[in-house]
């Protein structure tokens, strides 16, 4: 059987060093065996799909985050009557190899690259939403400044590999307790998001110390950081879909200091809220 080889040239922007797509149409899922001369990371955001890779059949469900290496030969087979949506991030080879060099010899890059099957981990609903929105924001940044978009991409990749693709998660996906999944779902609600840690303690019935230990164990972040990420993602959604002022949005998500809101928003999205709104408007009108 002929194996199609997808190449980075003409597909991945050489300045940005990546290519982000959100795939929601079944006909766009690649059903023929292929490999790439670049790395690919994909995240299932809805439904299930059969993934055949290196002659192994996997059933991937919502939350599966998969790291495809250039030598991996794979294809997808959608299940009958199953709606599948996923995020696809293509990254130039030298970008990933520079990342591994930066992480140093203490990081298990060799095991990730040489494992028989691509490394897989599973993200919670909150992390699915957060990662998807951060990746989508790359295209907005790219519309204004490709070099800033490249930096934002590299920041996401460092966090992704340090938090999810390491010895604690790879291939043996960490089991997330049901109460923690339910808590993450509840914290997306605006009334809880606004209250922050107070709501997290009230909804879970857990102490601050227990929450800190648990979030570090399963997600590699503090509960405060998790809440901040959710708030910023919610704010980004309001900037895209409403004409609310930055001050009103900050207050809406429970941040009373406008300058602090600007600072943390720019740290995450590499654009001030007003710049982000303008970039997303440009993208929408193209």
Reported as a single tens digit per residue, the pLDDT across 163-175 is 888 644 444 344 4
CA 196 to CA 223: how far, in whole Å?
9
Share of the chain above pLDDT 70, in %: 89
Q: Whole-number mean pLDDT of the chain?
A: 86
Residue 30: its pLDDT value, please?
61
Domain coordinates of the chain in residue numbers?
4-163, 178-285
Q: Is-contact 87 43, C-beta < 8 A?
A: yes
- The domain 178-285 is placed in CATH, from the list 3.40.50.10860, 3.20.20.70, 1.10.10.60, 3.30.70.3040, at 1.10.10.60
pTM over 0.75: no
CA 82 to CA 209: how far, in whole Å?
41
Half-sphere exposure of 223 (CA within 13 A, CB side): 22
Q: Is 168 helix (H, G, I), strand (E, B) or coil?
A: coil
Query: Which residue do the tokens 């601050």 mark?
Result: 208
Give the range with max mean pLDDT: 29-38, 41-50, 179-188, 277-286.
41-50
Region for residue 119 given its phi and psi (left: phi exceeds 0; alpha: psi -120 to 50; beta: otherwise): beta
Mean pLDDT of 160-187: 70
Q: Give 253's DSSP letter.
A: T
Nearest Cα residue to 149 out of 255, 283, 284 = 283
Among 20-29, 195-204, 223-232, the least confident range: 20-29
Reported as a single tens digit per residue, the pLDDT across 220-241 is 678 998 899 889 888 988 998 8
CA 286 to CA 280: how far, in whole Å?
10
More confident of the two residues 217 and 250: 250
Q: Is the pLDDT of residue 121 over 90?
A: no
Beta bridge partners of 40: 68, 90
Tokens for 187?
């914290």
Sheet holding 34-36, edge to edge: 4-6, 34-36, 74-78, 48-53, 56-61
More confident of the two residues 49 and 98: 98
Nearest Cα residue to 72 out of 110, 120, 122, 34 = 34
Nearest Cα residue to 266 out of 256, 254, 279 = 279
Nearest Cα residue to 35 out of 5, 76, 9 = 5
Q: Give 169's DSSP letter.
A: T
| Burial per residue of 106-140, b for 16 or more beta-carbon CB atoms within 10 angstroms, e otherwise | ebbbeebbebeebbbbbbbbbbbbbbbbbbbbbbb
CATH architecture, domain defined by 4-163: Sandwich (2.60)
Nearest Cα residue to 30 out of 42, 16, 18, 15 = 42
């Amino acid at each position: 059987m002929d194996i199609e080889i997808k190449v980075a040239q003409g597909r991945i922007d050489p300045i940005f060093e990546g290519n982000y797509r959100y795939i929601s149409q079944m006909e766009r899922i690649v059903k023929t065996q292929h490999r790439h001369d670049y790395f690919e990371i994909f995240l299932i955001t809805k439904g299930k799909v059969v993934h055949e890779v290196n002659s192994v059949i996997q059933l991937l469900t919502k939350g599966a985050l998969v790291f495809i290496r250039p030598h991996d030969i794979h294809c997808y087979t959608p299940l009958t009557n199953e709606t599948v949506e996923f995020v696809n991030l293509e990254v130039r080879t030298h970008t990933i190899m520079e990342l591994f060099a930066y992480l140093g010899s203490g990081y298990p890059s060799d095991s990730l690259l040489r494992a028989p099957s691509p490394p897989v981990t599973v993200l919670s609903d909150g992390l699915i939403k957060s990662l998807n929105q951060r990746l989508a924001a790359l295209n907005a940044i790219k519309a204004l400044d490709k070099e800033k978009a490249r930096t934002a991409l590299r920041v996401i990749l460092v966090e992704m590999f340090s938090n999810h693709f390491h010895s604690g998660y790879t291939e043996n996906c960490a089991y997330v307790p049901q109460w923690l999944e339910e808590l993450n779902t509840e914290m997306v609600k605006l009334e809880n998001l606004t209250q922050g840690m107070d709501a997290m303690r009230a909804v879970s019935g857990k102490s601050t110390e227990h929450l800190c230990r648990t979030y570090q164990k399963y997600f590699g972040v503090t509960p405060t950081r998790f809440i901040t990420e959710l708030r910023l993602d919610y704010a980004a959604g309001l900037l895209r879909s409403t004409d609310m002022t930055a001050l009103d949005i900050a207050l809406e998500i429970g941040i009373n200091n406008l300058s602090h809101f600007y600072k943390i928003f720019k740290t995450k999205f590499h654009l001030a809220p007003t710049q982000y709104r303008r970039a997303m408007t440009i993208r929408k009108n193209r």
